[in-house]
Structure 1
Amino acid sequence: MAPPSSWWGGEEQRGTPVVVKMDNPYSLVEIDGPGMPASDKARGKNAKQFTWVLLLRAHRAVGCVAWLAAGFWGVLGAVNRRVRRGRDADEEPDAEASGRGRAMLRFLRAFLLLSLALLALETVAHLKGWQFPQHLPGNLQELEEQLQHLPEHLQHLPEHLRHLPENLRQLPEHLRVPERREIQGWLHRAYVAWLEFRVDYIAWAIQKLSTFCILLFMVQSVDRIVQCLACFWIKIRGIKPRIATAAASGKRRGKKKSADVENGDADDAAAGGYFPMVLIQMPMCNEKEVYETSISHVCQMDWPRDRLLIQVLDDSDDEVCQMLIKAEVTKWSQRGVNIIYRHRLSRTGYKAGNLKSAMSCDYVKDYEFVAIFDADFQPNPDFLKLTVPHFKGNPELGLVQARWSFVNKDENLLTRLQNINLCFHFEVEQQVNGVYLNFFGFNGTAGVWRIKALEDSGGWMERTTVEDMDIAVRAHLNGWKFIFLNDVKVLCELPESYEAYRKQQHRWHSGPMQLFRLCLPAVFKSKIPFWKKANLVMLFFLLRKLVLPFYSFTLFCVILPLTMFVPEAELPIWVICYIPVLMSILNILPAPKSFPFVIPYLLFENTMSVTKFNAMVSGLFQLGSSYEWIVTKKAGRTSSASDILALAEETHVPTRPAAKLVRGVSEGGLEEWGKLREHEAAEWTNKEDAAAALAAAPATPKKSSKAKKPNRIFKKELALAFLLLTAATRSLLSAQGLHFYFLLFQGVTFLAVGLDLIGEQVS
């Protein structure tokens, strides 16, 4: 009841006074009085605060949705631009798969179209409830018992009806074949026919193939676990290759430890007078981003200059690059380094032909060992002192291989994932095989060969694109032993673009299959023990070079999406998730800082299985792409055009010594024309000529301003991406959670790789 008031509008002071609280301009009027309990007041205040909280959260939600929408449309726009402007990697002349790649692409396209059609059919069946069981009188066992108690005359049914219980058992619990009276329309009839066809003809074939691939997967996993255990034992026991002279000296003094024998005592052994004649070969081809750094590192090698010769083997067809490399060689030659420059007119045999041509020089017979470094390798000055002494007192030793280290391993996600793979390769595979078998595949660089071992094994051959593995296998068959030095590391560069990495992996996986096909007769005819032959054929070639890419592609890129459309063929969860994750963790152990990338590493390795499988097939069946050699592109982050120009300005390059240098290394009468051209190119009379040549040359890209080119589109990866995403959508209908997440993430990974969104573009 309102308080009484006079007609003048004045209020009498009766009842409860009105109190107005103005906490802020937007607060409400609150009235305190006996008729309004304290709980109502608190409730009103809480409602006000709750309203404002809701408004604030709604504002944030709208902003978040707007941000997500903008990001989504931005991604779609970027994908659209990349697809419109992208270059097709499978249609270019240097693509690694001309015939085989197109055949695989056609297969993947057909597979994708079939999966889309099946997804549409399964979606209709899901919406109409065709594939779900209705309420039946009991389970299948009760139904079978009822059929067994039918009258005798019903036992004369046709064959396919008398085995109805057995056929029903083949279907998953959530699927059944509808009865004839339940079929509604032609689409339902087509779905029923598809169910019967896949149960009778497809499911068993997929199940058999998946069982075979799972068996291969388990064998390969056991091999990897055994290698990891052997590596762990090597670490625990401190097993390392020892220098014979240093080890004997340590025993006499009684003070040396095994770690000192390998590291510190190498200098003692060399200082004791063991300085054999060493030849260093540096094959390169159009690699002007990295040549200067590698040549400068090799020229600073700590070895007597009169017992060292450096051959720069240039196969470049770019005249500017040739001039730059010759200028660098001349500069170090004037400083007293025994270095020569060689250039071939014809690049026959690629790297193997280049090395073979260099070994045919007359002066090579004066040298006992040859060290090989690719154009992007940067050895330390003590490299020869840490490797060559291992040959002393060990006449059966043919090769000493050092480990690679990477200058750009943290540059992007692609280089991080490559670092994981190569760390496992060197730390586990190479080290274990070197310690227990004295054999492993030569890595093509950062190694020292005994020249007698090369000559005894037939020298460099041009029959494959993996000349390093070829010479290693032939030397092993002739009884030569190898040593791997895990503590001696040589810096090099990883491919930073997916395009370069893809081509490199194609060469690395097609070559071994070529070699396996060519050298198999020689393996059986060799005189090495039987267990070494078995290791070479069963483990080195078949299990690690053929089985690995085969089951990886077949199991995770073909069978897994198939099981989503043919659920009668099941793939165990431990094959999809648990064992692959465990194997990925084992691979990352040699690079513990990469543990956060275990899931991206697993997904990326499955993505690379397409390239590796394609390469393996092309090498095994001698297809054209297996003979292609494409130089891996380098970024050259340690050199730049300004640095090269500064070095050219520092050095005065005289005319005659350069001409004499070129004449001394020419390959005979067949290269008279080449000598004339080289003589003209070498006549730089002053630093202005060098600067002018450098100014005319295209600028070497820097990290900050790297030259871009249109992105590539990898159609095989894109086709598999859409296939896996289609299978992931189908798995939602079956409520298979783990399968859905794996297929989704794997499909997104294939999509990112197919659009060339991983790594960087280097031109």
Structure 2
Amino acid sequence: MLLFFVDLIVLLCLLAQFAIAGYFLYLIYWLRELPQEQGAEASLPDDLPRVLIQIPVYNEPLVVDRAVATAGALVWPRDRLTIQLLDDSNDLTSDIAVHAVARLRRDGIDAHHIRRNDRSGFKAGALAAGLELNDAPYVAVFDADFVPPPDWLGRTMAAMLANPRAAFVQTRIEWGNGDSNWLTRAQRLMQDAHFAVEQDVRARRGVPFQFNGTGGIWRRAAVEEAGGWSHDTLSEDLDLVLRTYLKGWTGVFLMEPHVVGELPQKVDEFGTQQSRWSKGFVQVARKLLVPIWNAADWSTEAKFTTTVALGQQLIFPLLAVGIVGLVISILGHGKLLGLFRFGLWLWLIGMLVVLFGMTWGAYRRLQRGDLVRYLVTAASVPALIVYLAFVNTASIVGAGFGKKTEFKRTPKTGT
């Protein structure tokens, strides 16, 4: 009887993984069907609005000076631009920040170094605190390691102003250290699939897509109508996105202009980052899935794609439990059951279709290199997925049962 339950668990894990694979097949299908052209870029009006730039930092001494200087280099009328460095640091970052902000102020830029007495709410708390000190109708957010080009603000604000129901505009993220080692190349390949396939397809299909926490602009009216920043999940950006969609707002995704950021260069740092993201997705699912399915003005496509997108993090515990259960089944039966042999062949075919369908199109679109280089990089992705399955399973399950954990930042080197 015990072996029967083990076999049943393995079968359910396989079926759930096939369901998640169906979401990616949906993305691959629409990637082929939708036109790639986004049309001509919108132009800015003569009367430009005030914009607030927020840069939340916590112990980022290697990148804070560059972050402040880059924000100050953005092209926008100086009398309509404010920069906030939201500094929760307890190391020498704050000393560096004082001088970086002072340089901007000497150049006539309205820049402020904002410190809090405690780190309550983490990043979401810092962003909310900054909004209380400024009433600009549009707010750009950059993490400390992200570098926008000087024309980023003008091009992104043009898209925002051309779409009056857009709660936010998210731009693509490029990676300055994407070619540093095998790990960053594999991450870049997965991130390229996220932006050039998942984000782009979902945005153009008109279903909710993710704000990535940086490299984007928020419309203050939408943020306030949705209830503002909340820190009850580790994915405060995704939480706010879905709450704005539930209020009838939408979003805009731009492949260009892009911002340049930094990927974790060590496996343990990568695991920590992915664990935080996975837990955040599960927490948002617990919080908002019921309101999403009760939303009368959401299409069935929007509800299903959002549900599976939130649930895709379950692939990690499903994979880990499935592997362990399959080993027990083989040992118990003395062989691999025919049903599982068939299922594993289907799983392998499905995994390859999803892997190559999601990554090859993005790789070509962004002109990353030749076929051989692509195949070498793609071959390392399954190993990372299996690694994350065993690293993240406990934290994902804990998040599913409501366990709260601290926001752990990913160290940045300024590469």
The answer to whether the 8 A contact 1:207-1:569 is kept is no
Aligned-partner SS, 1:410: coil
Matched residue, 1:164: none
Give the structure 1 partner of residue 219 of structure 2.
450
How far apart are 1:275 and its partner, in Å? Answer: 1.7
Aligned position for 2:388: 608
2:337 corresponds to: 569
Residues 408, 533 of structure 1: CA spacing in aligned structure 2 closer, same or farther, 3 A cutoff? Answer: closer
Contact 1:441 1:472 in 2 (8 A): yes
CA distance in 1, matches of 2:127, 2:406: 18
State the Cα distance separating 1:628 from its structure 2 match.
1.3
Residue in structure 2 matched with residue 554 of structure 1 by the alignment: 321
2:7 to 207, 217, 238: 207
Contact 2:293 2:303 in 1 (8 A): no
2:401 pairs with one of 621, 626, 644: 621
1:631 deviates by 1.3
> More displaced, 212-221 or 292-301?
212-221
| Conserved 8 A contact 1:507-1:628 | no
How far residue 232 of structure 1 moved from its aligned partner, in angstroms, is 2.2
- Aligned with 1:501: secondary structure? helix
Aligned position for 2:287: 518
Separation in structure 1 between the aligned mates of residue 306 and residue 24 of structure 2, nearest angstrom: 17
Instruction: Confirm or deny that 1:359 pairs with 2:126.
Output: no
Query: Hey, what's the Cα distance between the residues in 2 that align with 1:302 and 1:350?
Result: 29
Alignment check: 8 A CA contact 2:176 2:260 kept: yes
Would the aligned equivalents of 1:353 and 1:460 in 2 still touch at CA under 8 Å? Answer: yes
Matching residue's letter, 1:349:
G
Count of residue pairs the alignment pairs up = 401
Could you tell me the TM-score, scaled by structure 1's length?
A: 0.51
Q: Which residue number corresponds to residue 188 of structure 2?
A: 419
From 630, 647, 664, give the equivalent of 2:408: 630
TM-superposed deviation, 1:354: 0.4
Indicate conservation of the 8 Å contact 2:210/2:241, yes or no: yes
For 2:240, the equivalent position in structure 1 comes to 471
Shift of 1:585: 1.8
The 5 A counterparts of 1:347-746 are 347-361=119-133, 364-365=134-135, 367-529=136-298, 531=300, 534-535=303-304, 538-542=307-311, 544-546=312-314, 548-555=315-322, 557-566=323-332, 567=335, 569-570=337-338, 571-572=340-341, 573-575=344-346, 577-589=348-360, 590-592=362-364, 593=369, 594-623=374-403, 626-637=404-415
Asked if the contact 2:101–2:111 (Cα under 8 Å) also holds between the matched residues in 1, the reply is yes
Asked if the contact 2:160/2:252 (under 8 Å) is kept, the reply is no
Q: Which has the larger radius of gyration?
A: 1
The CA deviation string for residues 92-129 of structure 1, in whole angstroms up to 9 with x for no partner, is: xxxxxxxxxxxxxxxxxxxxxxxxxxxxxxxxxxxxxx
Q: Secondary structure at the match of 1:591?
A: helix
Match of 1:238? 36
Structure 2 alignment gaps of length 5 or more: none
Offset, 1:338: 1.8
Summarize deviations over 1:324-382 as a string: whole Å, max 9, x none. 11111101210122211101111001001101111111xx22x2210000000000011
Cα shift at 1:618: 1.4
The structural deviation recorded for 1:438 is 4.5
1:317 corresponds to? 90
Q: Note the C-alpha offset of 1:424.
A: 0.8
Structure 1 pair 575/607, CA: closer, same or farther in 2 (3 Å)?
A: farther
* Amino acid paired to 2:274: Q
Amino acid at match of 1:550: P
Q: Distance in 1 between matches of 2:85 and 2:384?
A: 37
Please tell me whether the aligned partners of residues 549 and 613 of structure 1 are also in contact (alpha carbons under 8 angstroms). yes
- Is this contact kept in 1: 2:175–2:260, CA < 8 A? yes
The one-letter amino acid paired with 1:569 is: L
The counterpart of 1:296, out of the listed 69, 75, 84, is 69
- Offset at residue 432 of structure 1 (A): 1.0
Q: What is the Cα deviation at residue 281 of structure 1?
A: 0.3
Distance in 1 between the 2:189 and 2:7 partners? Answer: 33
User: Where does residue 98 of structure 2 map in the other structure?
Assistant: 326
Q: Secondary structure at the match of 2:214?
A: coil
Q: What per-residue deviation string (whole Å, max 9, x for no partner) do you get for residues 478-511 of structure 1?
A: 0101011112210000011122211111110111
Q: Distance in 2 between matches of 1:206 and 1:353?
A: 44
Quote the Cα distance in structure 2 between the aligned partners of 1:274 and 1:384: 15
More strand, by proportion: 2
| Separation in 1, partners of 2:36, 2:305 | 27
Deviation for aligned residue 1:297: 1.3
Counterparts of 2:70 and 2:328 in 1: how far apart (Å)? Answer: 53
Which residue number in structure 2 is paired with residue 107 of structure 1? none
Deviations 1:615-650 (A, max 9, x none): 321111012xx421111111223xxxxxxxxxxxxx
1:579 is paired with a residue of what secondary structure?
Answer: helix
Q: Is 1:226 the counterpart of 2:31 in the alignment?
A: no
Q: 2 CA distance for matches of 1:393 and 1:375?
A: 28
1:391 to partner: Cα distance: 2.7
1:523–1:533 Cα contact (<8 Å) kept: no
Q: 1:335 aligns with which of 98, 107, 120?
A: 107
Q: Which has the higher contact order (CA 8 A, sep 6+)?
A: 2
Aligned partners of 1:438 and 1:482 also within 8 Å: no
Aligned partners of 2:189 and 2:378 also within 8 Å: no
Corresponding letter in the other structure for 1:310 = I
- How far does residue 563 in structure 1 lie from its aligned partner after superposition? 3.9
> What SS is found at the alignment partner of 1:391?
helix
8 Å Cα contact 2:64-2:93 kept in structure 1: no
Say yes or no: does 1:217 pair with 2:17.
yes
State whether structure 2 residue 48 is matched by structure 1 residue 281: no
Counterpart-to-counterpart distance in 2, 1:532 and 1:628: 34
Q: Which runs of 5+ in 1 are unaligned?
A: 1-200, 241-257, 638-763
Report the AA paired with residue 74 of structure 2: M
Whole-Å separation in 2 of the counterparts to 1:424 and 1:446: 17
Q: Which amino acid aligns with 1:599?
A: A
Q: Residue deviations 1:22-59, cap 9 Å, x none? A: xxxxxxxxxxxxxxxxxxxxxxxxxxxxxxxxxxxxxx
Q: Please report the RMSD computed on the Cα atoms of aligned residues, expressed in angstroms.
A: 2.0
| Shift in alpha-carbon separation, 1:517–1:438, aligned structure 2, 3 A | closer
**Shift in CA distance, 636/490, structure 1 to aligned 2, threshold 3 Å:** same
C-alpha separation between the residues in 2 aligned to 1:576 and 1:533? 26
> Given that residues 464 and 627 in structure 1 are in contact (C-alpha distance below 8 angstroms), is that contact kept between their aligned partners in structure 2?
no
Is the Cα contact below 8 Å between 2:292 and 2:303 reproduced in 1? no
Moved more, 504-513 or 204-213: 204-213
Q: What is the Cα deviation at residue 517 of structure 1?
A: 1.6
Sequence identity (%): 27
1:303 Cα deviation after fit: 0.9
Alpha carbons of structure 1 residues 380 and 502: separation in structure 2 relative to 1, 3 Å:
same
TM-score (normalised: structure 2)? 0.91
The one-letter amino acid paired with 1:478 is: K
